[in-house]
């Protein structure tokens, strides 16, 4: 993905650069793209035999970040502080922002502000070689899985906001099929590696159940 997407009209985010050619993550990304083309997402998310699980997680988290960045970027003109004064996923779910630095306590912010803060927060972690190493021989930190779980949980919130607040606009733009494919891939991957607590998935529970049912019938 080479284009830039304006998030919340306040900041542009460049998608994470590809990892260096010849590294394990580069090879895994090529493998993941090839298996996605098979149409069987359930098998495409499974860890290839003999591969490092952290490398597999890193490759996919970067890709999901880019997907969400792109999808949200298509509806920024509709997701404004006036239209979306809170970061929500339907009337029962509202998300507060906390990062331990500028926002030390859970704070209510508008949806575009939340996504702006989130994308910047994720980008900083993806660019941190001590968290997401791309060089040969550099080990992943012990808390890597916890970092991945936090990123996945927060990316889910953007998917949930898109589905519950902007689906009509996304359909009008003709990108609902892309959203569905992207989310199906994301959900099956996080389900495969138990990255998101079931309670967090509540806003899209029906959709998730239908995805799992459809995959079992394939």
- Find out whether 191 is annotated in a ligand binding site: no
Which regions of the chain does DSSP assign to beta strands (E)? 5-7, 11-13, 87-88, 94-95
- Helix (H, G, I), strand (E, B), or coil: what is residue 99? coil
- Find out whether 60 is annotated in a ligand binding site: no
Contact 135, 23 (CB under 8 A): yes
3-state secondary structure 130-143: CCCCCCCCCCCCCC
Token pair listed for 82:
């006036």
Buried-exposed string 161-182: b where 16+ CB fall within 10 A, e elsewhere? bbbbbbeebbeeeebbeebeeb
Report how far residue 133's alpha carbon sits from residue 130's, in angstroms, rounded to the nearest whole number: 6
List residues forming the annotated binding site.
79, 84, 161, 166
List residues forming the annotated binding site for Zn(2+).
79, 84, 161, 166
């Amino acid at each position: 993905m080479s284009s830039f997407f304006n998030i919340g009209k306040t900041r542009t985010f460049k998608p994470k650069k590809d990892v260096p050619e010849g590294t394990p993550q580069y090879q895994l990304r090529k493998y993941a793209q090839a298996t996605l083309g098979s149409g069987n997402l359930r098998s495409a998310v499974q860890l290839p035999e003999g591969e490092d699980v952290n490398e597999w997680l890193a490759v996919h988290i970067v890709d999901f970040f880019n997907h969400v960045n792109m999808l949200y970027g298509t509806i920024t003109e509709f997701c404004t502080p006036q239209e979306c004064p809170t970061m929500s996923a339907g009337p029962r779910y509202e998300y507060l922002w906390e990062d331990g630095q500028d926002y030390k306590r859970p704070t209510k912010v508008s949806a575009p502000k939340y996504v702006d803060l989130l994308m910047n927060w994720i980008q900083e972690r993806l660019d941190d070689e001590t968290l997401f190493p791309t060089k040969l021989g550099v080990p992943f930190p012990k808390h890597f899985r916890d970092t991945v779980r936090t990123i996945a949980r927060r990316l889910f919130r953007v998917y949930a906001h898109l589905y519950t607040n902007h689906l009509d606009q996304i359909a009008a733009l003709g990108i609902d099929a892309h959203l569905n494919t992207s989310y199906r891939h994301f959900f099956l991957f996080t389900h495969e590696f138990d990255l998101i607590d079931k309670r967090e998935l509540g806003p899209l529970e029906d959709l998730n159940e239908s995805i799992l049912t459809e995959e079992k019938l394939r």
